[in-house]
Homo-oligomer: A and B are copies of this chain.
Amino acid sequence: MARVKGSIGSETKAAILSTALPLIAQYGYAAVSMRQIAEAVGVNVSALYNHFPNKQQILVRLLMDHMDGLMAAWSEQISRGQAAEQLEAFTRFHIRFHIEKPQAVFISYMELRSLEDDGHKKIESQRRAYEDVLRQIIRDGINTGEFNTPDAHVAAMSIIASLTGVNTWFSADGRLSQKQIEDNYVDLTLRSVGYETKGKSYV
């Protein structure tokens, strides 16, 4: 056969990405074949190569788009005020974003090792930039005396891992609402860096 009526390259490309994402999240990059992706999209395998030079570039694009989206979303988030307020804002933002895009989050953590040199370096540096945001908030809090924690880097890594973990157990129809979970994590996070909540509770 030949080109089908109504086919638009950009739409097929987008469909490939949005189709590949959940497949890779579920089975892993190596375990998902180009044929699987093509069938789910509804095109022949070879059509994938009109839009991506190879399988690896599909993964690279997925991860880059995710990290770009993460950084862009944080940039839109205006947060003023003291370090404590900023940390609360970051906590809520991170949880929300990671609950909204569980699949992209999952593969961005799991499939880093599947990336070859170039893509790997880019994603890593984007992740570091994101972590820097949190590190800087904590440093500010330490400097102003709002926070009491021995090391900004360790605190940042602890908090990011803690928040990202929500992704693995959150269920929309679970015992707790997203807001309750957010509130709870704000409490845990602020307390962890020694912020004096002075009896006030965040939940």
- CA of A86 to CA of B55, assembled, Å: 48
Chain B residues whose C-beta falls within 8 Å of the C-beta of A201 in the assembled complex:
150
Residues 133-165 of A contacting B (Cβ, < 8 Å): 149-151, 153-155, 157-162, 164-165
Can you tell how many copies of this chain the complex includes? 2
**B-facing mask of A165-179, CB < 8 A → 1, else 0?**
110110000011000
Closest chain-B Cβ to A182's Cβ sits at a distance in Å of 10
Q: Is A101 at the interface (CB under 8 A from chain B)? A: no
Is chain A's binding surface mostly helix, strand, loop or mixed?
Answer: helix
CB-contact partner of A28 in B114, B153, B160, under 8 A: B114
Q: Is A102 at the interface (CB under 8 A from chain B)? A: no
20 intermolecular pairs with C-beta atoms under 8 Å apart: A28-B28, A28-B29, A29-B31, A110-B110, A149-B187, A150-B183, A150-B201, A150-B203, A151-B176, A153-B175, A154-B185, A154-B188, A159-B162, A160-B165, A161-B162, A165-B165, A188-B193, A191-B192, A191-B193, A192-B192
| Residues of chain A whose beta carbon lies under 8 Å from any beta carbon of chain B | 26-31, 110, 113-114, 149-151, 153-155, 157-162, 164-166, 168-169, 175-176, 181, 183-185, 187-189, 191-194, 201, 203
